[in-house]
Amino acid sequence: MDVVFRALADPTRRILLDEMFKQDGQTLRALGQRLTMTRFGVMKHLRVLEEAGLVTTRRRGREKLHFLNTVPIRLIHDRWIDKYTEPWAATLAGLKRTLEETMEKVFEIYIKTTPERLWQAITDPEMRRKYSFGVRVESDWKQGSQYHGMAGEMAIFGGENLEVDPPRRLVQSYNALWSEEAKIEGTSRVTWEIEPVGDSCKLTVTHDQLREGARPELYGGWPMVLSGLKTLLETGELLTTPGSLRYLGPNPETHFR
- CA 166 vs. chain centroid, Å, equals 20
CA dihedral sign, ordered 73, 75, 80, 81:
positive
Percent of the chain, pLDDT > 70?
83
The pLDDT of residue 3 is 84
Both 119 and 244 in one domain: the answer is yes
Q: Which residue, of 39, 68, 97, is where some domain finishes?
A: 68
Both 141 and 45 in one domain: the answer is no
CATH assignment at residue 126: 3.30.530.20
The pLDDT of residue 240 is 81
Query: Is the pTM for the entire model greater than 0.95?
Result: no
Both 37 and 119 in one domain: the answer is no
Give tens-digit pLDDT for 201-246.
999 999 999 988 888 999 999 999 999 999 999 999 998 876 667 7
Both 140 and 249 in one domain: the answer is yes
Q: Is residue 198 domain-resident?
A: yes
The residues near 205 (Cβ < 8 Å, ≥ 6 apart) are 106, 107, 108, 190, 191, 192, 193, 222, 226
Compute the distance between CA of residue 147 and CA of residue 54 in angstroms, rounded to an integer. Answer: 31
The pLDDT of residue 14 is 87
Q: Is residue 49 domain-resident?
A: yes
Give tens-digit pLDDT for 42-64.
899 999 999 888 898 888 888 89
DSSP state of 77: I
Evaluate whether 151 touches 134 at the Cβ level (below 8 Å): yes
Q: Which residues are 149's β-sheet partners?
A: 137, 157
Q: Is residue 79 domain-resident?
A: no
Burial group, residue 166, by CB count within 10 angstroms (0-12, 13-18, 19+): middle
Compute the distance between CA of residue 219 and CA of residue 98 in angstroms, rounded to an integer. Answer: 7
Q: Is residue 88 domain-resident?
A: no
Give tens-digit pLDDT for 29-45.
888 887 777 888 889 99
Q: Is residue 110 domain-resident?
A: yes
Which range of residues forms the domain containing residue 53? Answer: 2-68
CATH assignment at residue 14: 1.10.10.10
Both 12 and 121 in one domain: the answer is no
The pLDDT of residue 77 is 65
Q: Which residue, of 44, 68, 92, is where some domain finishes?
A: 68
Both 112 and 63 in one domain: the answer is no
The pLDDT of residue 252 is 40
Phi and psi for 104 in degrees, rounded to 5? -140, 135
Both 145 and 225 in one domain: the answer is yes
Both 190 and 124 in one domain: the answer is yes
Query: What mean pLDDT do residues 189-194 have?
Result: 97
The pLDDT of residue 26 is 87
The pLDDT of residue 128 is 95
Query: What mean pLDDT do residues 194-199 have?
Result: 96
